[in-house]
Structure 1
Amino acid sequence: MTKSVNETMQTLRATDFTHWLATFWLVKRKLSQQQAKYSVLKVDTDAKLEQKLKNAVTAKILDKEYALDEYDFLTADQDNGLLTIDSAATDVTLIQAEIDKGTANPTVERYEDLLDSWAMVIKLEHQEKAIYAYRKISKFNHPTKLSHISFIQFKDKQLKDLDEQAIFTIDTQIDFFTYTGTTFITNKKEFESTLNFRAGMEKNRDVVLQEFVDLNIFSDASLLKQHIGANLNYLRKVSSIQKSGYYKDAQFLQELIKVNSQKNWGLQVENGTIVINEASIELVLTLLNNGRLESPINHEIFDASVKKKVS
C-alpha cells in the first residue's frame, strides 16, 4: 500500500462535506463480444433524497478507521477493511468520463427510463474535487422481475397495494467509491460484478496459457485450458499467477522442479517440462502462484490461496 493512498484516505476523512453537491446518476451497460460500453442518465432528486444520498457516501468514508489493502484477485474477506486499486485499471474511468459530460447527458423524464439500469452513481463535488460512489442496481428494477413483485404499504391499519404507482427501489449501501484516481472497494464481489471483471480474468487466462506454451513450461497445456474454462475460482488463480509473474522466471521454475522432487509433491516432469494430468492441475495452479508455504515455526506445509508478503 503506497503512502499516497493512505494520505488520500486521511484527507477524505478530514474533509468537511457541508458544501459538497450531490447528484444522482444511472449507468446503462451493453456488452458486445465481452466488451462493455456505458452510458449514463442524470436523475433529478428532491432536497431530502439528495441529502440522503450524500449522507450514504460520507457515512461510508467517515464511519471508521479502515485498514487499507491492495486489491488482488485472491484477496481474503475484507471485514472492516477497504481494498484499493488504481482507477485506470478498471472501467470506472469510462463511466466517469460519461458522467463528467454533465448536461450533455440526457435526464430521466419517464419512469421507464429508470428501469434496466446496471448501476447507480452518487457524485459528490466541490470546486475541482469529486467523489464517485457506486452501487449495483437491485434486481427489482428490471421489468421482468417487477412483473412478479407486489409493492405493499401498511397505512391506516391496512395493507395497501402500490402496484399502480411508479416505484423505483435503491439500496444506498456503497460497493466502491473513487477519488483522485484511486478506487476504494467495500464490497469486492459487487465491485467485480459491476465492472465486468470476469471478462478481464478470461483475457488473463488466455494470455497466460499462451505464454505457458511459448515458454514450454508444460508438455501439453490444452488440458489446463479445458479445466480452467470459465470457473471463477480458477480464473482468479490464473489472474493471480499472471500478476505475480513467477512463471516467467526460469530460476523459479528450476527451483520448483527441484523442490518437487525433494518433497515428493507429485508433479510429473519429463525433459524439464511439467506433464499435466487431471489430478495435478490444482497443484500446478498452487505452485505457479507460489502458494505452497512452510511454517518456519513447526515446519508444517500449507497451501495458501490467500497470502500477504511480509518482506
Structure 2
Amino acid sequence: MAALDDLKAFNIDEAHIVLWVFKGPRGPATEAPVYTGKWVQTDAAVDQKLKDAFSNERNRIEEVLEYSLLAENNEASVLRIGTDETYAHVVTGAAGEETEGNRARREKDLINTTFYAIKAVHGDTVIFAVRQADKSWKSRHRKSLRSTLIMKEHELTVDDTPRFDIHDGVNFFVVGNELLVGGKRQFESILRYKEAHITEFDDLKAEPDFSGIFSDMQHLDAHIRNNKIQLRRAQAIRQKGHYKDVDFMQRLRENHVHFGFHINFDDTGLIVPTPETCSEIITALLDHRLSSAFSENIYDVQNTTTVAL
C-alpha cells in the first residue's frame, strides 16, 4: 500500500504540471520499445484540467490488488505492478528535462500522439499519470472532421481551431518503483505488454516440460497466439507450473471426466489438443475448475488465491 499512500498524500494542488505527449511504441517486439516524447507548453486552465484528471482517478481508488495476468480491477481498485516488470522506465526516462529542443511547437508535433503523461512535481516527488490518447489526436480522424459551429456574439460562426481532448481521468500512475493500474487494457497497449506475452508463449512452448505433455501443439498454438487474453493465460500457466507436477498431471488424467472436461489423451497419456478442447486444456492447466465442498457444485473461476489454513 506504500505507493497508494504516497499517491494519496501527494499535493497535486500545489504541484508543477508538465504535459508530455508520446508517439510509439516502435521497434522489434523482442527489444525495449522506443517512444518519441515532447513536452507541451500549457496555460493555467489546461494545468487545472490535468490536475483534475489526476485527482479524479486518485479519488476513486480505495483498494490495491496485486497485478496478475488474469486479475481484473473494479471501479474502486487498481492493480499494482513493479516498474521493473514493465517498460515504464523508458517513458519516465524520456520525460526528463523540459528543454527547448524537445518542446512541441507545431500542431504536427501533437497529431498521432499515442498517449500523454501528466508529469506532476512537488518538492522532490515526481508522479506520472498516463492516459491513452483518443481519436481526436489522430490524423485520420482530424481530416474527417467538419468545421465546428460555435455561438459567438449572438450568432453562429465557424471555429476551425485545432482541438485535442484531455479526459477527466487517467489509465495508470507511476509512483516511485510501482505502477497503479486502473486501465489494464490501455496499460498493456502503451507499455507493450501483449508483445511480452507473445515472447513468453514462445518460451513456454520451447520448454520440454510443457511441450512434452502434448502429442502436438498445432491447434493450441493457433488458439492462443493471436488472442490477448489467451496469451495472458498461457503466461499464467507458465507461472503456476502445474504442467511440471507429475502428480497434478496424473490427477488430471484420472479426474478430467468427473470435472466435465472433454480433453483427449492418447495411449501414452499425452494430451491431444483439438480446436474444440483448447479452452478446456487451458482451464485445466490453470487449475481454474474447482469443486465446492459446501454446495458440491463445480465452478470455473477467473483467478485463484491460495488460502493459508
Same fold, judged at TM 0.5 (above): yes
For residues 91-146 of structure 1, give each alpha carbon's deviation from its aligned partner in whole angstroms, at most 9, with x where no partner exists: 21111111124438510111111111111000111232110000011112122210
Is the contact between residue 117 and residue 131 of structure 2 (CA under 8 Å) also seen in structure 1? Answer: yes
Is the contact between residue 25 and residue 120 of structure 1 (CA under 8 Å) also seen in structure 2? Answer: yes
RMSD value over aligned CA atoms? 2.2
1:266-285 alignment, distance < 5 Å: 266-269=262-265, 270-285=267-282
Distance 2:257 2:107 in 1: 66
* Residue matched to 1:97: 93
Distance 1:144 1:8 in 2: 38
Distance 1:160 1:289 in 2: 60
* Residue matched to 1:3: none
Is the contact between residue 99 and residue 105 of structure 1 (CA under 8 Å) also seen in structure 2? Answer: no
- The alpha carbon displacement at 1:215 in A equals 5.2
- The alpha carbon displacement at 1:263 in A equals 5.0
Secondary structure of 1:298's counterpart equals coil
- The alpha carbon displacement at 1:173 in A equals 1.8
Is the contact between residue 212 and residue 218 of structure 1 (CA under 8 Å) also seen in structure 2? Answer: no
Secondary structure of 1:241's counterpart equals helix
- Match among 289, 307, 310 for residue 307 of structure 2: 310
Distance 2:47 2:95 in 1: 17
Secondary structure of 2:144's counterpart equals coil
- Match among 266, 287, 291 for residue 284 of structure 2: 287
1:44 and 2:41 matched: yes
- Give the AA of the match of 2:158: D
Corresponding pairs, count: 304
* Residue matched to 1:298: 295
- The alpha carbon displacement at 1:251 in A equals 2.9
- The alpha carbon displacement at 1:30 in A equals 4.4
* Residue matched to 1:136: 132
- Rate the CA distance shift 1:30–1:73 in 2: closer, same or farther, 3 A: closer
- Rate the CA distance shift 1:109–1:137 in 2: closer, same or farther, 3 A: same
Unaligned runs of 5+ in 2: none
Is the contact between residue 122 and residue 133 of structure 1 (CA under 8 Å) also seen in structure 2? Answer: yes
1:10 and 2:11 matched: no
1:69 and 2:70 matched: no
- The alpha carbon displacement at 1:261 in A equals 5.8
- Rate the CA distance shift 1:20–1:77 in 2: closer, same or farther, 3 A: closer
- Rate the CA distance shift 1:260–1:110 in 2: closer, same or farther, 3 A: same
1:29 and 2:29 matched: no
Secondary structure of 1:13's counterpart equals helix
* Residue matched to 1:242: 238
1:181-196 alignment, distance < 5 Å: 181-196=177-192
Which deviates the most, 261-270 or 225-234?
261-270
Distance 2:192 2:135 in 1: 17
- Rate the CA distance shift 1:68–1:214 in 2: closer, same or farther, 3 A: closer
Distance 1:82 1:264 in 2: 34
- Match among 188, 201, 204 for residue 205 of structure 1: 201
- Rate the CA distance shift 1:142–1:266 in 2: closer, same or farther, 3 A: closer
- Rate the CA distance shift 1:58–1:267 in 2: closer, same or farther, 3 A: same
Is the contact between residue 73 and residue 79 of structure 2 (CA under 8 Å) also seen in structure 1? Answer: no
Secondary structure of 1:274's counterpart equals coil
- The alpha carbon displacement at 1:153 in A equals 4.0
Unaligned runs of 5+ in 1: 1-5
- The alpha carbon displacement at 1:246 in A equals 2.0
- Rate the CA distance shift 1:213–1:7 in 2: closer, same or farther, 3 A: closer
- Rate the CA distance shift 1:272–1:50 in 2: closer, same or farther, 3 A: same
Distance 2:232 2:156 in 1: 47
Is the contact between residue 135 and residue 176 of structure 1 (CA under 8 Å) also seen in structure 2? Answer: yes
For residues 180-199 of structure 1, give each alpha carbon's deviation from its aligned partner in whole angstroms, at most 9, with x where no partner exists: 11111111122122222221
Secondary structure of 2:234's counterpart equals helix
Is the contact between residue 150 and residue 158 of structure 2 (CA under 8 Å) also seen in structure 1? Answer: no
- Rate the CA distance shift 1:251–1:158 in 2: closer, same or farther, 3 A: farther
- The alpha carbon displacement at 1:32 in A equals 2.7
- Give the AA of the match of 2:43: D
Secondary structure of 2:165's counterpart equals coil
- Match among 228, 233, 243 for residue 229 of structure 2: 233
- Rate the CA distance shift 1:173–1:89 in 2: closer, same or farther, 3 A: same
- Give the AA of the match of 1:223: H
Which deviates the most, 149-158 or 283-292?
149-158
